[in-house]
C-alpha cells in the first residue's frame, strides 16, 4: 500500500491508489470479522473433534452443545458483516466521487497524504487484529472446552496405557484404610480410633465457621454495588473507584484473618477460611478490575460517539482550507516514518480508555480536540475524521463485547445480580463476560465427584490421624517438656523422615480432591465447560513449569492481574514482573502459614523464593535436554519440601 | 491362549521405525472379529484350492502375454501374503512401555515418583539403622548370597554349555543317512537328551544343597535355557526335514508330494484350519503344483528378513547369539538395531543392581522383622482364632512390601535384564511385556506379563499340540506344562512338592467365572479392579502358603512372587 512519490503527482493514478486503499481496508475489514468468528469456531470445533473419540453417551450432549454456539457466532458475524458492508459501500461511493472532484488540485497532495496516513493507521489496526496481535493483548485468556486429565470422560486418560496403575493406587489406598482400621481396632477397641482430627474439625464453632463463610461470600457483593454506582456515573473507576475497591479488599482480607485469630479457631477451620478468603479476594479483584477497565472503555466510547454526532452537525468549510495545525502535525508524524509500520501505528493508536483529549496526544485525541474547538474543516477532513472515529468506536465496541457471542451481555448489561452470583460460583478466577458452557448438568457425574470429594477428604483425615498426628503431638510434647533447641534439632531428621510419606500422600490427595473432584463438581453444577484446572505437572522438568501447571485458575489470575498488570501499571520489566508475581505468591503462602502456626518464620517464603534461581538453573545449558534429571529434581523437591517445612515450623 | 489380543505385529508395517506399545487393548473381543473374518476369507479358498489343483490353473506356454502377466501378478501377490509352515512369531522393531522413547509419556512423572519414593524410603530406613546400630544396613541375607557363589557360576556355565550339544546333533540330522533323520530317530534322540538334561540339572542343586536364592536363580535360568534349546532343536529339525524334501523334489518321481503342512496360526479358529494332511496327493503331479511346493519349501528355509537360509545358520556363532538374545523362540534372523549404545547398557546394568539392592533392603527392613515377630507370636498363640488373627495381621503388614517387591521383580527382569541383553545383542523387538496392569482377567494377564514365554508356549506347545489335539485339550496341556514349571520353582523354595502353586492357579478359576458372567463382562474398570484384588489375594495366598515353611526352616524368602503370578 505504500504508494511512491510519482503516484501522488498524477491524480488519476492517485485516485486509483486511493480506491485501492479504500477497497483493501474493506477486505481487511471483512477478514477481520470472519476470522474472529471462525477462529472461535475452529477452537470449539477442535475441541469437539478431540472429544469425538470419547464414549458416545458422553459426547452426545457435548457435541450438540458445541455446534450450537459456533452456529450462533457465525450467524452473528454474518449479520454484522452485512450491516457493515452496506455502510461501507455507501461511503466508498461518495468518497470516490469526492476525490475525482478534487483530484485536479495540487494543494490537496498534502491533505491527501495525511488523509492516507490516517487511513493507514486505521488499516493497520485491522491488519493487527487479523494477525492476532491485538488478540494476544494482555487481558485475553481463551477458554476452551476440555476435561481434566484424571477425569474418566477424558479419552486420553481412560484410554491411557497406564490406567491400571491408577486402579492400583486406589486399591492400595483402600488397603491402607483397612489396615489402619484394623490397627485402631486392635489398639483402641474401635475402628475409628480416637479420631482427634475429626473432633478438632467438628467440635467447636462449626456453625460459626459456616456463618462466617456465608458472610464472606455475601460481602464480596461490595464490588458489584460499586460497579453499579460506576456504571450509573456516580463515580469513575479511574478516579476513585479502584482506590475504594483496593481499600475494601485489604479490609476484607484483614478482617477475616483477624476473625480467625479472635475466635481462636483450630487450624483446620483457619485453613479452610483463609484459603476461601484468598479465593474470594482474587474473585473480587478480577471482577472489579476487569469491569473497571470495561467501564473506562465504555466512557471513551460514549465520548467518541458524542464527538461523532458533533462532527455530523458540523458544516463542511468550503474553499481552500486553512491547513489545520493538528492535522499537519498528524501528517508530519506520519511522514516521519512512512515505512515503520509498527511504530507509527503505536503512536497513532492511543489508549483505549483515556477520556481526556488534552493529555492523550494521539491522532484521535487531536481529532477530538479539533472537533471540540470546532475549527473549520473541509469536507474531506470531515469524512476522514468520521471514518477514523467510527473505526475506533467499532474497536471499542468489540473490546466491550469481549468474547461474547451475543451483544446483549456487553459491558453495562453484564452488571446484574444474576451474573455476579454465577461468577461467584464458577470455578475460575478470571472474569469474563461469557464462558463456554455445557448444555445440561449430568447429575450422576456430580454425585460421583461429590462422593469422591467426601471419600478423599475422609482418606486424608484418616491418614493424618494415623501418621501425622502422633508425630506432631510428640514434637509439641517435647517442646513443652522443655527440651532445648539443640536437642530438638537432633530430632529434626527423624521428624522429617516420619512425615515424608504421609505428607506426600496428603499433598497428592489434597491436590486431587480440590482440582479434580471439587472443581469438577462446581464446574458440572454451573455447566462450566473449560475444565483445564491443571496441566500435567507431574511431568514438570522445572519448578516454574510446576508453578504454571498445578494450579491453573490461580496461575491464570496471577498472569492476568498481577504479572501483566504490573507490567502495564507499574511499568516493570518482564523479569521484575516475574519476581513481583513470585513475591506476592510467596507472601500469600507465608500469610497462610502464619494463620496456621501463629508465628512468622519465613521458611516457606524462603523456599518459594529459592525456586526462582532454581528455575533459572533448570533452564541453563547444563540441564538443557535432560528432562528425566529435571523431573527427578522436581519430584525430589516436591517430596521432601512439605515435610521439611512442616517440621521446621513445628520444631523451631 | 486362543485369541491373543496382546501382540499385533505385522512385518509388513515395515522395519526400521519403532513401534510403540499400542494405547490400550480393545476391551471386547468383538473388535477383533472382523479381523479374524478377513483372515479366514483371505486364506480359506487359497488353502482349499492349494491342495487339489496347486492353487492356479496352469497357463499354457503359448498363452497370450496378457494372460501370463495377470498370472504372474497373482503369484506375486500370493508371495507377499505367504505364510510359513512352522508357526512364527512376528518380530518387529518395538520399544517397551517404560522406555523413554515410547509414545506414552503422559504419566511418566509418576514413574519417576515411584523411584524417588523408593529411594527416599531406603535412605530413611538406612538412617534409622545407622542411628540404632551404627551401620547403614545389616544384611542378614548376605551369607545366603555369597554362599557357593563360585560353584553357582561354574555350574551355570556348564549348564548353558551343555545345551550346545544340540548343534552337532542338528548337523548330524542334516547329513545323517537312514534313520538318523529328524522325522525318524532325530526327534526321539533330542527329546531324550532334553529330558535327561532337565532332570539332571534340576536335581543338581538339591543334591548339592544350595541356598534357596541360588537355587531360584539357577532354576529360572535353567528353565529359560531349556526352552531355548527346545526351540532351537525343534525348529532346526523341522527345517532339516523341509530341506530334505526340497532336495528330494529334484527327482519328482520318487518324492513325497504331500503339500507343505501348515501349522495353524494360534489366532485362527479350528474350523479355519485347512484339512491338508487328510487329502490325498494330487494324481496329476503337474509342473505347477511341483513348482508351488518347491517355492513353499524354499520360502520356509529362508529367514524372515531374507538374509540367511537354513543350513548356513548351523554354526557356533549363531548358536551363541541365540543364547544371548532375549527371546525363547528360535528364528533364523531377528530384526536388529543399527548399533549398541554402551551408555544404555551401563544404565540398564546399573538399574539391575539398583533394583536388586532395593529388593534386598525392602526384604530386610519390612518383611523379615514382620516375619520374625509373627513367628514368635504364632509360637505363643493359643487356639485357632488367635492363630488366624495373627496370620491375617502378618499378611496385612506384608502386602505393601510384597507389592513393591513384585513390581520391582517385574521391572528388573522384563525391563532391565532383558533390555540390557537386547541392547548387547542389538535385538530390536523390545516388547517383553504388554500392559498387563490393565488386564481384566488372569488369562489376559498370563498372555501379557511375560511375552517371551507366552510366545514360546504359543509356538512350541499350543500350536504343536493343536495339530494333533483339539483346541481345549491343547489349552489344557499348555496350562499343565506351565503349572508344572511353576511348581518346580516353588519346590525349589519350599523344598517340598505339595502342589501349592497348582492349587493357587486353580483358585483363580472362580474369579475367572465371575468375570465371565454377564454382569461383569465388558466393564473394563470393574474387571481391572477385580484383577488387582485377586492379584493382592494371590500375594496373600503366597504369604499363607510360604509362611509355615519359613517358620519351620527359619528361612527368609518371598521371591515366590516370581512364581505364582
pLDDT tens track for B11-42: 333 334 455 444 444 443 333 333 333 333 33
Query: How far are the Cα atoms of B269, B455, B530 from residue B26, in angstroms, in the given order?
Result: 19, 20, 18
From the list A161, A176, A538, which residue is nearest B109 (CB)? Answer: A538
A177 close to B (CB below 8 A): no
Q: What is the pLDDT of residue A451?
A: 94
Cβ contacts of B120 on chain A, cutoff 8 Å:
500, 639-640
CB B173 within 8 A of CB B180: yes
Chain B residues with beta carbon closer than 8 angstroms to that of A497: 124, 127-128
Nearest to A307 by CA among A375, A245, A424, A390: A390
Answer for the pair B299, B400: CB distance below 8 angstroms, yes or no: no
**Separation between Cα atoms, residue A476 and residue B547, nearest integer Å:** 41
Residue from A334, A362, A323 nearest A119 by CA: A334
Grid cell listed for B524: 473394563
CB count in 10 Å sphere of residue A564: 17
| Other CB atoms within 10 Å distance of the CB of residue A595 | 20
What is d(CA B387, CA B383) in angstroms, rounded to the nearest whole number?
A: 6
- pLDDT value, residue B407: 86
* pLDDT at residue B55 greater than cutoff 50: no
What pLDDT does A308 receive?
Answer: 82
| Cα–Cα distance for residue pair B76/A632, rounded to 1 Å | 54
Contact A162 B104 (CB under 8 A): yes
Inter-chain touch A632–B106, beta carbons under 8 Å: no
Across B87-100, b (16+ Cβ under 10 Å) vs e yields bbbbbbbbbbbbbe
* Cβ contact A163–B438 (<8 Å): yes
Closest alpha carbon to B537 in B423, B381, B337, B403: B403
Interface contact flag, A175 B400, Cβ < 8 Å: yes
Lowest mean pLDDT among B305-309, B325-329, B538-542: B538-542
B105 → chain A, closest CA residue: A539
> CB–CB of B205/B215 below 8 Å?
yes
> Is the CB of residue B387 less than 8 Å from the CB of residue B401?
no
Which residues are CB-contacts of B551 (< 8 A; sequence separation ≥ 6)? B375, B378
Given a contact cutoff of 8 angstroms between Cβ atoms, the answer to whether A150 and A166 are in contact is yes
Q: Which residues contact A538 (CB under 8 A, 6 or more apart)?
A: B107, B109, B110, B113
**Which is higher by pLDDT, B170 or B58?**
B170
Smallest Cα distance from B26 to chain A, Å = 10
- The complex's ipTM? 0.70
In this complex, do A163 and B24 lie within 8 Å of one another by their Cβ atoms?
yes
Pick from B20, B437, B530, B538 the residue to mutate for testing the A interface (most A CBs within 10 Å). Answer: B437
Pick the residue with more confidence: B465 or B139? B465
CA angle B289, B293, B295 (to 5 degrees): 115
Question: Can you tell me the distance from the alpha carbon of B109 to that of A634, in angstroms, rounded to the nearest whole number?
Answer: 10
Q: Determine, for residues B110 and A537 on separate chains, whether the beta-carbon distance falls below 8 Å.
A: no
Each residue of B340-390: pLDDT tens digit? 889 989 999 999 999 888 888 888 788 878 877 877 887 777 778 887 788
User: B344 vs chain A: nearest CA distance in angstroms?
Assistant: 14
Of A149, A175, A628, the CB nearest to B100: A628
pLDDT score recorded for residue A374: 67
Please check whether residue A497 touches B, CB under 8 A: yes
Residue to substitute from A154, A162, A549, interface B, most B β-carbons within 10 A: A162
Reduced to 3 states, what is the DSSP secondary structure of residue B106? coil
A538 touches chain B (CB under 8 A): yes
Is residue A68 over pLDDT 60? Answer: no
* Interchain CB distance below 8 Å, A167 and B403: no
Q: Residue B117 belongs to what H/E stretch?
A: helix B108-133
Q: Does residue B226 surpass a pLDDT of 80?
A: yes
Q: Copy the grid coordinates of residue B203.
A: 536335581
Q: Mutation test of the interface with chain B: which of A148, A156, A160, A167, choosing the one with the most B Cβ atoms within 10 A?
A: A167
Contacts by residues B498-501 (CB-CB < 8 Å, ≥ 24 positions apart): B500/B545, B501/B563, B501/B564
Q: In DSSP terms, which residues pair with B429 in a beta bridge? A: B94
Q: How far apart are CA A54 and CA A73, in angstroms?
A: 25
- Say yes or no to pLDDT of B115 above 70: yes
Cα–Cα distance between B375 and B379 in angstroms, integer? 6
Copy the grid coordinates of residue A614.
532454581
Distance between CA atoms of A237 and A239, rounded to whole angstroms? 5
Q: What is the pLDDT of residues B142-153, one digit of tens each?
A: 777 777 788 888
Residue A646 has pLDDT above 80, yes or no: yes
Q: Residue holding cell 448444555?
A: A439
pLDDT classification of A211: cutoffs 50, 70, 90: very high
Contact flag B439-A164 (C-beta cutoff 8 Å): yes
| CB contact A631 to B (< 8 Å) | yes
Interface test with A, best of B109, B131, B366 (most A CBs within 10 A): B109
Query: What is the spatial distance between Cα B135 and Cα B124, in angstroms, rounded to a whole number?
Result: 13
Taking the C-alpha atoms of residue B205 and residue B155, their distance in angstroms, rounded to an integer, is 10
Asked if A182 has any chain B CB less than 8 Å from its own CB, the reply is: yes
H-run or E-run covering A486: helix A485-511
Q: Which residue bears the cell 530413611?
A: B124
Distances in Å between the Cα of B380 and the Cα atoms of B367, B387, B395, B551 are 20, 9, 18, 13
Which of A346, A336, A354 minimizes the C-alpha distance to A293? A354
Q: What is the DSSP string of A349-397?
A: H--SS---HHHH-SHHHHHHHHHHTT----HHHHHHHHHHHHHHHHHHH
Q: How many pairs of residues across A and B have Cβ atoms under 8 Å apart?
A: 106
Total Cβ atoms within 10 A of residue A295: 25
**Within 10 Å of residue A57's Cβ, how many Cβ atoms?**
9
Shortest Cα distance, chain B CAs vs residue A172, angstroms = 8
pTM as predicted: 0.72
What pLDDT shows up at residue A248? 93
What's the pLDDT tens digit per position in A435-474?
A: 888 888 999 999 999 999 999 999 999 999 899 999 988 8
Find chain B residues with C-beta within 8 A of A641's C-beta.
none
Q: Which residues of B touch A (CB under 8 A)?
A: 21-24, 97, 100, 104-110, 112-113, 115-117, 120-121, 124, 127-128, 131, 393, 396-397, 399-400, 403, 435-439, 525, 528-529, 532-533, 536
Q: Is the pLDDT of residue A186 over 80?
A: yes
Chain B interface includes A322 (CB < 8 A): no
Closest CB from B100, B109, B437 relative to A164: B437
- Put simply, whether A640 touches B (Cβ < 8 Å) is yes
- What was the pLDDT predicted at A253? 92
**pLDDT at position A443:** 92
**pLDDT digits 0-9 by tens, B436-469:** 888 777 777 877 888 888 888 888 888 777 777 7
Of the candidates A160, A172, A631, which has its C-beta nearest B109's C-beta?
A631
- Confidence class of residue A521 from pLDDT cuts 50, 70 and 90? very high
Which residues of A are part of the catalytic machinery? 589
At B253, is the pLDDT very low, low, confident or very high (cuts 50, 70, 90)? low
**Mean pLDDT, rounded, of chain A:** 73
Give the pLDDT confidence score for residue B32 in this predicted structure: 35
Tell me whether residues A635 and B113 touch, CB distance under 8 A.
Answer: yes
Residue numbers in B near A631 (CB within 8 A)? 108-109, 112
Active site residues of B: 486
What CA–CA distance (Å, rounded) separates A267 from A326? Answer: 65
User: Cα B435 to chain center, whole Å?
Assistant: 15
Q: Which residue among B22, B97, B437 places its CB closest to the CB of A168? A: B437
Amino acid at each position: 500500500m505504500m504508494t511512491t512519490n510519482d503516484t501522488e503527482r498524477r491524480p488519476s493514478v492517485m485516485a486509483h491508489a486511493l480506491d485501492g486503499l479504500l477497497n483493501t481496508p474493506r477486505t481487511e475489514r471483512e477478514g477481520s470479522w470472519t476470522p474472529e468468528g471462525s477462529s472461535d469456531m475452529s477452537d470449539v470445533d477442535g475441541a469437539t473433534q478431540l472429544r469425538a473419540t470419547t464414549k458416545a453417551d458422553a459426547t452426545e450432549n457435548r457435541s450438540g452443545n458445541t455446534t450450537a454456539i459456533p452456529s450462533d457466532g457465525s450467524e452473528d458475524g454474518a449479520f454484522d458483516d452485512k450491516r457493515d458492508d452496506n455502510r461501507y459501500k455507501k461511503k466508498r461511493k461518495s468518497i470516490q466521487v469526492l476525490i475525482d472532484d478534487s483530484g485536479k488540485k495540487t494543494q490537496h497532495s498534502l491533505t491527501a497524504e495525511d488523509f492516507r496516513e490516517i487511513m493507514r493507521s486505521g488499516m493497520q489496526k485491522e491488519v493487527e487484529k487479523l494477525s492476532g496481535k491485538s488478540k494476544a493483548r494482555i487481558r485475553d485468556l481463551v477458554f476452551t472446552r476440555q476435561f481434566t486429565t484424571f477425569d474418566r470422560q477424558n479419552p486420553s486418560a481412560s484410554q491411557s496405557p497406564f490406567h491400571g496403575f491408577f486402579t492400583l493406587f486406589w486399591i492400595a489406598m483402600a488397603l491402607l484404610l483397612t489396615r489402619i482400621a484394623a490397627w485402631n481396632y486392635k489398639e483402641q477397641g474401635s475402628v475409628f480410633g480416637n479420631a482427634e482430627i475429626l473432633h478438632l474439625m467438628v467440635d467447636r464453632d462449626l456453625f460459626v465457621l459456616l456463618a462466617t463463610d456465608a458472610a464472606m461470600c455475601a460481602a464480596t457483593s461490595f464490588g458489584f454495588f460499586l460497579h453499579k454506582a460506576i456504571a450509573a456515573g456516580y463515580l469513575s473507576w479511574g478516579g476513585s473507584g479502584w482506590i475504594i475497591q483496593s481499600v475494601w479488599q485489604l479490609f476484607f482480607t484483614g478482617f477475616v484473618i483477624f476473625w480467625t485469630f479472635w475466635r481462636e479457631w483450630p487450624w483446620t477451620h483457619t485453613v479452610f477460611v483463609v484459603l476461601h478468603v484468598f479465593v474470594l479476594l482474587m474473585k473480587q479483584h478480577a471482577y472489579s478490575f476487569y469491569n473497571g477497565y470495561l467501564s473506562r472503555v465504555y466512557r471513551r466510547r460514549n465520548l467518541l460517539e458524542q464527538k461523532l454526532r458533533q462532527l455530523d452537525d458540523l458544516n463542511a468549510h468550503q474553499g481552500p482550507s486553512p491547513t489545520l495545525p493538528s492535522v499537519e502535525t498528524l501528517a508530519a508524524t506520519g511522514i516521519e516514518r512512512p515505512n515503520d509500520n509498527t511504530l507509527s501505528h503505536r503512536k497513532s493508536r492511543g489508549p483505549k480508555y483515556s477520556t481526556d483529549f488534552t493529555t492523550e496526544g494521539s491522532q484521535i485525541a487531536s481529532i477530538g480536540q479539533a472537533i471540540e474547538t470546532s475549527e473549520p474543516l473541509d469536507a474531506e477532513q470531515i469524512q476522514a475524521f468520521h471514518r477514523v472515529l467510527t473505526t475506533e468506536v467499532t474497536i471499542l465496541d468489540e473490546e466491550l463485547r469481549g468474547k461474547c457471542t451475543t451483544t446483549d451481555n456487553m459491558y453495562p448489561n453484564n452488571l446484574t445480580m444474576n451474573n455476579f452470583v454465577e461468577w461467584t460460583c464458577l470455578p475460575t478466577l478470571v472474569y469474563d463476560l461469557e464462558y463456554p458452557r455445557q448444555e445440561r448438568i449430568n447429575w450422576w457425574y456430580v454425585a460421583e465427584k461429590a462422593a469422591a470429594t467426601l471419600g478423599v477428604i475422609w482418606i486424608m483425615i484418616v491418614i493424618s490421624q494415623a501418621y501425622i498426628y502422633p508425630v506432631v503431638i510428640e514434637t509439641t510434647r517435647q517442646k513443652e517438656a522443655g527440651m532445648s533447641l539443640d536437642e530438638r534439632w537432633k530430632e529434626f531428621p527423624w521428624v522429617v523422615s516420619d512425615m515424608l510419606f504421609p505428607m506426600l500422600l496428603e499433598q497428592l490427595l489434597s491436590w486431587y480432591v480440590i482440582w479434580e473432584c471439587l472443581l469438577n463438581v462446581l464446574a458440572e453444577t454451573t455447566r462450566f465447560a473449560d475444565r483445564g484446572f491443571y496441566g500435567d505437572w507431574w511431568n514438570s522438568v522445572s519448578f516454574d513449569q510446576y508453578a504454571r501447571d498445578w494450579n491453573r485458575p490461580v496461575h491464570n489470575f496471577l498472569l492476568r492481574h498481577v504479572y501483566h498488570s504490573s507490567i502495564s501499571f507499574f511499568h516493570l520489566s518482564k523479569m521484575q514482573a516475574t519476581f513481583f508475581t513470585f513475591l506476592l505468591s510467596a507472601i500469600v503462602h507465608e500469610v497462610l502459614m502464619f494463620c496456621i502456626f501463629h508465628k512468622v518464620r519465613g521458611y516457606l517464603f524462603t523456599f518459594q523464593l529459592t525456586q526462582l534461581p532454581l528455575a533459572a538453573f533448570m533452564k541453563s545449558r547444563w540441564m538443557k535436554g535432560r528432562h528425566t534429571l529435571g523431573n527427578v529434581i522436581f519430584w525430589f523437591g516436591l517430596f521432601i519440601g512439605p515435610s521439611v517445612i512442616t517440621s521446621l515450623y513445628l520444631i523451631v | 491362549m486362543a485369541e491373543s489380543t496382546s501382540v499385533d505385529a505385522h512385518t509388513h508395517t515395515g522395519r526400521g521405525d519403532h513401534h510403540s506399545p499400542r494405547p490400550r487393548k480393545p476391551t471386547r473381543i468383538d473388535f477383533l472379529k472382523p479381523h479374524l473374518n478377513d483372515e479366514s476369507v483371505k486364506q480359506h479358498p487359497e488353502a482349499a484350492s492349494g491342495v487339489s489343483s496347486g492353487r492356479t490353473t496352469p497357463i499354457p506356454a503359448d498363452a497370450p502375454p496378457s494372460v501370463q502377466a495377470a498370472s504372474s501378478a497373482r503369484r506375486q501377490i500370493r508371495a507377499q501374503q505367504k505364510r510359513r509352515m512352522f508357526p512364527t512369531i512376528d518380530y518387529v522393531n518395538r520399544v517397551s512401555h517404560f522406555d523413554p522413547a515410547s509414545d506414552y509419556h503422559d504419566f511418566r512423572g509418576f514413574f519417576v515418583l515411584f523411584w524417588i519414593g523408593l529411594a527416599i524410603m531406603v535412605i530413611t530406613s538406612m538412617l534409622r539403622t545407622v542411628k540404632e546400630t551404627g551401620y547403614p544396613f545389616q544384611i542378614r541375607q548376605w551369607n545366603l548370597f555369597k554362599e557357593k557363589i563360585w560353584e553357582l557360576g561354574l555350574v551355570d556355565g556348564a549348564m548353558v554349555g551343555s545345551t550346545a550339544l544340540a548343534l552337532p546333533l542338528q548337523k548330524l540330522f542334516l547329513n545323517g543317512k537312514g534313520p538318523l533323520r529328524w522325522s525318524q530317530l532325530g526327534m526321539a534322540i533330542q527329546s531324550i537328551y532334553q529330558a535327561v538334561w532337565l532332570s539332571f540339572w534340576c536335581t543338581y542343586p538339591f543334591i548339592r544343597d544350595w541356598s534357596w536364592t541360588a537355587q531360584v536363580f539357577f532354576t529360572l535360568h535353567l528353565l529359560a535355557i531349556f526352552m531355548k534349546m527346545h526351540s532351537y532343536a525343534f525348529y532346526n529339525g523341522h527345517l532339516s526335514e523341509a530341506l530334505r524334501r526340497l532336495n528330494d523334489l529334484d527327482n519328482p518321481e520318487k518324492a513325497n508330494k504331500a503339500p507343505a503342512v501348515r501349522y495353524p496360526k494360534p489366532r485362527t479358529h479350528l474350523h479355519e484350519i485347512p484339512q491338508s494332511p487328510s487329502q490325498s496327493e494330487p494324481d496329476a503331479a503337474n509342473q505347477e503344483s511341483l513348482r508351488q511346493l518347491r517355492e513353499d519349501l524354499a520360502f520356509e528355509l529362508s529367514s524372515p528378513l531374507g538374509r540367511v537360509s537354513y543350513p548356513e545358520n548351523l554354526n557356533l556363532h549363531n548358536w551363541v547369539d541365540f543364547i544371548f538374545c532375549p527371546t525363547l523362540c528360535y528364528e533364523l534372523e531377528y530384526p536388529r538395531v543399527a548399533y549398541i549404545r554402551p551408555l544404555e547398557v551401563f544404565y540398564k546394568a546399573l538399574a539391575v543392581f539398583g533394583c536388586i539392592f532395593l529388593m534386598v533392603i525392602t526384604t530386610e527392613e519390612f518383611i523379615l522383622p514382620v516375619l520374625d515377630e509373627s513367628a514368635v507370636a504364632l509360637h505363643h498363640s493359643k487356639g485357632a482364632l488367635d492363630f488366624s488373627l495373627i496370620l491375617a495381621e502378618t499378611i496385612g503388614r506384608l502386602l505393601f512390601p510384597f507389592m513393591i517387591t513384585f513390581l520391582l521383580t517385574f521391572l528388573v527382569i522384563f525391563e532391565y535384564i532383558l533390555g540390557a541383553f537386547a541392547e548387547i545383542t542389538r535385538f530390536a523387538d523390545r516388547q517383553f511385556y504388554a500392559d498387563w496392569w490393565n488386564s481384566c482377567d488372569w488369562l489376559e494377564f498370563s498372555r501379557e506379563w511375560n511375552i517371551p514365554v507366552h510366545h514360546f508356549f504359543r509356538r512350541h506347545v499350543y500350536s504343536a499340540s493343536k495339530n494333533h489335539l483339539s483346541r481345549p485339550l491343547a489349552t489344557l496341556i499348555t496350562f499343565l506344562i506351565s503349572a508344572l514349571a511353576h511348581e518346580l520353582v516353588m519346590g525349589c523354595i519350599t523344598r517340598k512338592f505339595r502342589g501349592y502353586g497348582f492349587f493357587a492357579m486353580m483358585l483363580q478359576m472362580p474369579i475367572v467365572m465371575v468375570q465371565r458372567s454377564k454382569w461383569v463382562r465388558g466393564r473394563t474398570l470393574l474387571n481391572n479392579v477385580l484383577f488387582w484384588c485377586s492379584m493382592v489375594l494371590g500375594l496373600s495366598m503366597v504369604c499363607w502358603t510360604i509362611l509355615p515353611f519359613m517358620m519351620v526352616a527359619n528361612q527368609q524368602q518371598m521371591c515366590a512372587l516370581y512364581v505364582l503370578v
